[in-house]
């Protein structure tokens, strides 16, 4: 399940694209997701970060633009996920989800 935690904080296991399109998540496909190259993932990869929460600029304008996008955003849930992953650890967060 860890591979289904996107660099931007989306939990791909809950994403309709993962379910409907069998998208493997950005970690497995190195930021080349079903719709193209994800600039958020590419930034994280370039900076050699596990996810955006490790970045000194977190949450940056690029991440916010995706999180609050009118059509595809999640009203900042991915940012909230990253904050919680950093605070309690992904494994504990995942255990709470189950």
Task: Give the domain extent around 87.
Answer: 2-97
Q: Rounded to an integer, what distance in angstroms lies between the CA atom of residue 7 and that of residue 49? A: 8
pLDDT of residue 71: 85
Q: In the predicted model, is pLDDT for residue 80 greater than 90?
A: yes
Work out how many domains the chain is built from and give that number. 1
Q: Which two tokens stand for residue 35?
A: 């719709």
Is the sign of the CA dihedral 21, 61, 51, 83 positive or negative?
A: negative
pTM greater than 0.75: yes
- 16-58 pLDDT per residue, tens: 777 777 777 788 778 887 778 889 999 999 999 999 999 999 9
């Amino acid at each position: 399940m860890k591979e289904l935690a996107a660099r931007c904080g989306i939990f791909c296991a809950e994403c309709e694209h993962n379910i409907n399109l069998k998208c493997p998540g950005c970690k497995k496909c190195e930021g080349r997701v079903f719709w193209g190259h994800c600039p958020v993932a590419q930034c994280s990869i370039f900076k050699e970060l596990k996810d955006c929460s490790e970045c000194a600029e977190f949450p940056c304008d690029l991440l916010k633009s995706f999180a609050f996008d009118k059509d595809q955003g999640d009203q900042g849930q991915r940012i909230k996920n990253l904050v919680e992953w950093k605070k309690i650890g992904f494994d504990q967060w995942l255990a709470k989800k189950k």
